[in-house]
Structures are given as C-alpha cells and as structure tokens.
Amino acid sequence: MPGLEDLYREIILDHYRNPRNRGELPVPPAHAETGFNPLCGDEITVYVQTEGDRIVDVKLAGQGCSISQSSASMMSTAVKGKTIDEARRVVSTFKGMMSVHEQRLGGDEAERSSDALAELGDLVALQGVVKFPVRIKCATLSWNTFAQALDAVGAPNH
Amino acid sequence: MAIDVTAVKKDFPIFDQEVGGKRLVFLDSAASSQKPRAVLDAMDGYYSTTHANVHRGVYAIAEEATRLYELARRRVGAFVGADDPAEVIFTKNVTESFNLIAYSWGRANLGRGDVVVLSSMEHHANLVPWLQLAEERGIVLRYLGLTDDGRLDTSELERELDGARLVSITACSNVLGTLTPVREVADAAHAAGALVAVDGAQLVPHVPTEVGALGADFFGFTGHKMLGPTGIGVLWARRELLEAMPPFLGGGEMISDVRTDGFSPAELPWKFEAGTPPIAEALGLAAAVEYLEKLGMDAVREHEKALSAYAIASLTERFGDDIKIHGPLDAGSRGGLISFAFKGIHPHDLSQVLDEHGVCVRAGHHCAKPLMRHLGVAATARASWSVYNDEPDIDALGDALVDADRIFS
C-alpha cells in the first residue's frame, strides 16, 4: 500500500503553500478557460496570454486540494515562456505520466516515457499521484483546462 | 436496549480484517453502509438453493423464489409502515425512485409553468430529474431556503407553496445531517393543493419511519445505505396515485397483455417493475430490515444520536474554532452524520491523511452542488455513523485530524 510520502512530497506542499502565478489576466487579450472536477466540485480558471505562438503569461484562479493546486502552480511555471507547440508536448508528457494505463506498459514505451519524464523537472514529484487513482483527476484538472485554452487560442477565428 | 457495538461488529465480516495494517474505522455509511453476514447469507442462500426467475416458472424453486421475493416486499414495506405491498415498488436505488416519479407522474401531470418546490439541500437524485422536466416542459422550480444554522426555513412556507403542484424534499440532508420538518411541510403542501414526495435515503437507516405519519404521497429510499445490498431501492406511493400513473420503464413483467398495436400494464406493483427484478438484492434488503428490527430502530436512533452528540462535543473541545461543523449543533436535529471544515485543509487532503490512519470519511460535494454553493465551499469532509460505530471511532477521527494539521499547516 503506497504511503502518504509518495503523494505529499515537499515540493508539492511548497507549491500548495506558496502557489505561483495566482491571479487573473484581462480577457481579452488573454484567453480564459474554466475546468471542473466533478468528483469534488473543485474548479480552476486558467488564463493564457500569447504573443504570436509564444505563451507570455499564465495565471490561475479557483480553488482546490493540495494536489490540484500544486499541479496547477507547477504547470504554470513549466509552460510560461514556451511556444504553444512546446507547451502541448509538456501537457502530453505530463498526462502520459498521469495515466494509470501507461504505468503498466513495459519495454520501449516505458523507456521513452522515462526520457520524456526527465524534461518535466519538478513535475515528476507528482508521479506518486498515480498510486492514488482517485486523485489523478485532481492532478490533471489544470492541465486539461490549460489544453482547452491552447485549443481555443490556436483556433483560426481566435 | 442499548446497542452492543462489540457484538454488532462481529456480525459484519468486513471488520474481521485490517486495512493497510490498521483497524478499519468506517465513517462513511451515509455513502454506503457495510453489510452484516445475515444479508450476505440471505443472498448466497437464495443463489445456492432456489434461484429462478420470479413470476414466471411453474416449478418448485421458481415458486419459492417468487414467494421469497414477495415476502421481501412485505417486510421492507412494513419497515416504513407501508402495509399494502401493492404500494411498494422495488427500484434500483433512490435515484431511480425519483426518476420514476418525475417521468411517470411528472410527465402525466406537469406542464409549462407548473411549480415544483424543492429545498436548497437536495441530493442531485431529487434535483436533476426535475431540472430535466424543467428543460423538457418548462416546469418552474422553487427552492425552500435554509436558516443560518442549516435548518429548513419554513417561515415563508405558505407563500412559497402557493400554487405548487408538488413539494419534493429530503427528510434528512446527506450533507448537513439536518432532519427536516417533513410533516409540517406536508401539511402545508396539502393545504395548498400540492402532493408531497420525500427522499428518505438518509432517514430510513437511522430513524424509525412511518410513511403515513410523515404525510408523504411518494417516499423513496435505498437499500445499500441501510445495511442492505447495492442495486435495490424502493418507491412507496399511495395506491390511487400509482394506479393513475403510466408505467415508467417498459418490457417484460410489467404487462398484462401485449398486442402488435399496444399493451396493457400489469397490476400494481409489477406495473412499475419492468424486466427481471433484483431478486437476491430484495432478499438481502429484507434480511437487513430484519437485522435492524432485531436491534430495534429506537435503539439505533438513540445510539447514533449519542454518537452525533459525542462527535460534536469532543471535536469542538479538541479543536475549538479550528473545526467548523456545518448544520445544527444539537444532535436531536440531525441524522447520523456531521460535515465539517478543518483549518482550511481541503477535504480531499483531509480524507487522504485520514485514510492513512484507517479512517474512512467522504470528501466532496456529496451530490449536492447547489448546497455547496450556499455554504460557500467546493466540498466538505463528512463523517457518518451506523450501528457498528462507537466513540473510539470518533476519537480515531480526531487523532487523524491532528496528523493532517501537522502535514498541511
């Protein structure tokens, strides 16, 4: 049985107690998306400001548990300054890490994952969440919401 | 006679084990209770000795299955003072019970502008079916408010019920634990010409219940919260209402005749039981009812009321203003649960740390999002009790809260 230390790593608690990039951005020019976790009622709003294809600012509003808040905080620092394509890759790698199914794959797939994981930096601290399947939705809430924001920003009529 | 928790616990196989090396402290019975061996045996015994479809086969084991299924209906009905088995319909759960009311009675009786009155503390089971009808036919929903201490506000009842066709409220909030004055609301509703539906999911497992004394026209409850199995619930309603209502689901068993151009529904209660029913579950629920009757529902109520009082007193004494218990603070106004906030720690995180101590509580919106918005929170932590809980369980909850404080503060 996984222990709490797998879940509540120090870096996670740090981002929870001192969340980065809290606040709002004026819409427009920024784009905002709100996501809900139907399990617990948490909601988060992700503000994304782009210039050309680069994400120049990300802000987060809403409420949630330590896992959803710290995951959002870490995400904001990880994607700020990246191009939209680079950010999408981070999203994809993170969501791969959060997939309970991915964890069961062996061989090449697992190796590819571990290479990609190296790029995630501090976010790897959230890997322990996979051992608590009910909490995966907490960790991925801000990422799914951010991905929706990217889709909207990338839409031709934006 | 007081409940002997040590003896009761021995009747529940789940407490024979440790979970993660810890004594199992199960404080989530409001979500779903544990099951005594008598319930498992009733279901097992049926499958092992006399399983056959009911109301069909003309052979010994099918006759016996039918007899046991109908006996279960009488026992379960009698448990809530429903003496006419024709008025006791087995459903899948209380959610289905309320969908049955909304689809069958609602569609036959409600149209644009008709008013259905709910309370602000309804479970989604007694809310979404009405929202669906509002979308589909333009019925109007009105909500009875709450007082500051989480009771149903009945001060404006007459005005709020004016012109209503149906009042549909919970008898006990699954979030606040508040017992509502069902009889007072029912009398006022009837005086206003409205029918009354009552959600008894959190009442029947904990408080002696008589549908007649409540003044209900419809009454729903569910098996798995009252020591019975999942997959079975009940809708009780007055016979003349059920007779006038069209069937809900169509299919086998619910007909008396089917032609290529139409059908005639079966008699009550089978008119509302399409398809093969949950036979083993009905027998399991009857065994649960028998188990509760043996303990005595008055004793169950006293035991759980004492636990609520102990929980409120001991947690308040230990944590003072660091713990905020939602809803009324006198145990007599509550069913068997408390919802609380603790030092701003998110309920998910609380629940996770509590789990490390073997303490199971529910964290979330409890399928009552409008009430969460009223309370100004996204979620609460909820501890709930049943016949197998005692004061050391509450103490274990308190000890685990100390640890949560250590991690997150």
Q: Are residues B11 and B23 in the same domain?
A: yes
pLDDT tens sequence across A111-141:
445 666 667 778 888 888 888 888 888 899 9
pLDDT at position A108: 46
List the single best residue of B18, B19, B345, B348 to mutate versus A (max A Cβ within 10 A): B348
Confirm or reject contact between B364 and chain A (CB < 8 A): yes
Chain A residues touching residue B348 (CB < 8 angstroms):
40, 65-67, 135, 138
In chain B, the residue whose alpha carbon lies closest to the alpha carbon of A138 is B348
Highest mean pLDDT of the ranges A37-51, A57-71, B100-114, B350-364: B100-114
Q: Do B20 and A7 touch (CB under 8 A)?
A: no
Q: Which amino acid type is present at position B261?
A: D
Task: Considering only the beta carbons, identify the residue of A3, A13, A41 that sits closest to B379.
Answer: A41
* Residue where a domain terminates, one of B271, B293, B315: B293
Indicate left, alpha or beta for B231 from its phi (over 0: left) and psi (-120 to 50: alpha). Answer: left
Higher pLDDT, B359 or B369: B359
The domain that holds B204 is classified in CATH as: 3.40.640.10
- Residues in A touching B346 (Cβ below 8 Å): 64-66
Ranges of beta strands (E only) in B14-161 are: 18-19, 22-23, 25-26, 88-91, 115-119, 140-144
Q: Are B315 and B283 contained in the same domain?
A: no
Of residues A7, A13, A42, nearest to B378 (C-beta) = A42
Last residue of a domain, one of B266, B293, B320: B293
d(CA A13, CA A128): 13
CB spacing of A138 vs B379 below 8 angstroms: no
ipTM passes above 0.85: no
Would the CB atoms of B364 and A41 count as touching at under 8 Å? yes
Distance (Å, whole) CA A154 – CA A156: 6
Least confident of A25-29, A35-39, B88-92: A35-39
> In terms of residue numbers, what domain contains B76?
40-293
B68: left (phi over 0), alpha (psi -120 to 50) or beta: alpha
Domains held by chain B: number: 2
Lowest mean pLDDT among A68-72, B82-86, B254-258, B286-290: B254-258
Confidence of residue B253 (pLDDT cuts 50, 70, 90): confident
Are B220 and B367 in a shared domain? no
B229 and B134 housed in the same domain: yes
Asked if B352 lies within 8 A of A7 by C-beta distance, the reply is yes
Q: Do A42 and B408 touch (CB under 8 A)?
A: no
Query: CA angle, corner B202, sides to B197 and B203, nearest 5?
Result: 70
Q: B20 and B86 share a domain?
A: no
Residues 6+ apart with CB under 8 A from B273: B89, B90, B253, B254
The DSSP secondary-structure symbol of B178 reads B
The pLDDT, as a whole number, for residue A145 is 95
pLDDT digits (tens, 9 = 90+) for B226-237: 999 999 999 999
- State residue A115's pLDDT score: 65
Reported as type and span, the H/E element at residue B222 is strand B218-222
Residues B324 and B288 in one domain: no
Nearest by CB to B364, from A7, A8, A40: name it: A40
Interface of A with B in 63-122 (CB under 8 A): 63-67
What is the reported pLDDT for B125? 96
Please tell me whether residue B32 adopts helix, strand or coil conformation.
coil
The domains located in chain A, with CATH, are 4-154 (3.90.1010.10)
**Whether residues B183 and B142 fall in one domain:** yes
Is A39 at the interface with chain B, CB within 8 A? yes
Residues in chain B with CB shorter than 8 Å from the CB of A8 are 407
Q: Is the dihedral angle over the CA atoms B64, B205, B300, B351 positive or is it negative?
A: positive
Q: Write down the catalytic residue from B241, B255, B309, B367.
A: B367
Is there a catalytic annotation at residue B367? yes
B256-289: pLDDT as tens digits: 888 899 999 999 999 999 999 999 999 999 999 9
Which residue in chain A has the smallest CA separation from B370? A41
Q: Cα–Cα distance between B60 and B250 in angstroms, integer?
A: 28
Q: Which of B352, B353, B378 is opposite residue A63, by nearest beta carbon?
A: B378
Give the residues across from B381 on adjacent strands: B340, B363
| Same domain for B234 and B169 | yes
Cβ distance of B378 and A41 shorter than 8 Å? yes
Looking up residue B340, the CATH number of its domain turns out to be 3.90.1150.10
Indicate the residue of A39, A63, A66 with minimum beta-carbon distance to B349: A66
Taking residues B1-23, what's their average pLDDT? 93
A24 pLDDT more than 80: yes
In this structure, the answer to whether residues B342 and B246 fall within a common structural domain is no
